[in-house]
Amino acid sequence: MSPNAQTPLVEARNLSRSYRLGEALVPAVRSVTLEIGAGEFVALRGPSGSGKTTLLNLLGLLDRPDGGEVRVEGREGEALSENERSDLRRDRFGFIFQTFNLIPVLTAEENVGYPLALAGAGSGERRARARELLASVGMPEKASVRPYLLSGGQRQRVAIARALANRPAIVFADEPTASLDSRTAEGILDLMREFNASSGVAFLFATHDPRVVERARRVVSLHDGEIEADEVRA
């Protein structure tokens, strides 16, 4: 249960998801009940195969459950149309991926502004917001640079800026430090903590990185698709 459980941003109720492997049906998430509240900084911890990414994708409305339900600010995810789910992801969620997922033909500024373009923002608004965010992640001079000319840490900073472009309520981060060296990873994590503290955006990480777990204010441990522990830290 979240410490902000009165008005959870995202909640799972008896959530289950399995995948077919040959003729076998392999459970990835088993009857998970979980709430994430406003402003939280939460790590989903567990070894490979524990269900972290599957749970993250279900909570982020990127995948659909076999059983149970996901609610976003009280709205039942399965009751929404595909367009409504897409609009909810665009307007209320941000996503950060291990492989960055930047669009290679776009500049850093254009990548950051892309979610705003999807929301119908004009070019001036997109440019101003993108430059504001690139400055906030320490990369104002890289606005016109394409991803292939950026280091891994720089690309992840652009990805963070893009995730925050539409001022989301929550950012889902799937192994965001896995491709980074230790010093870069720590800088990226400190940056996300700063955004969490300054803007109140919640962060939910799927990770097995002890550096992420160390900085989290709440740690949810998964094992074989089930919640093994849920620890809130002072």
Phi/psi at 54 (5° precision): -60, -45
Q: Cα angle at 226 between 224 and 231, to 5 degrees?
A: 120
Read off the pLDDT of residues 201-232 as tens digits, 9 standing for 90 and up. 999 999 999 999 999 999 999 999 999 999 99
Domain boundaries, the chain: 8-232
For the domain made up of 8-232, the CATH class stated in words is: alpha beta
| Furthest-apart CA atoms within the chain: distance in Å | 53
Closest residue by Cα to residue 172 from 116, 94, 114, 102: 94
pLDDT at 5: 45
Angle at 35 between CA 32 and CA 38, to 5 degrees: 155
C-alpha distances (whole Å) from 106 to each of 132, 159, 210 are: 18, 13, 33
Q: What is the pLDDT of residue 6?
A: 66
**DSSP 8-state secondary structure symbol assigned to residue 186:** H
pTM: 0.92
Beta-bridge partner residues of 20: 25
- At 133-144, the pLDDT tens digits run 999 999 999 999
CB proximity list for 202: less than 8 A, separation 6 or greater = 9, 36, 37, 38, 39, 40, 41, 42, 169, 170, 171, 196
**pLDDT tens digits, one per residue of 52-108:** 999 999 999 999 999 999 999 999 999 999 999 999 999 999 999 888 999 999 999
Residue 66, both tokens: 């076999």
Mean pLDDT of the chain: 93
- Encoded tokens for 77: 């995810």
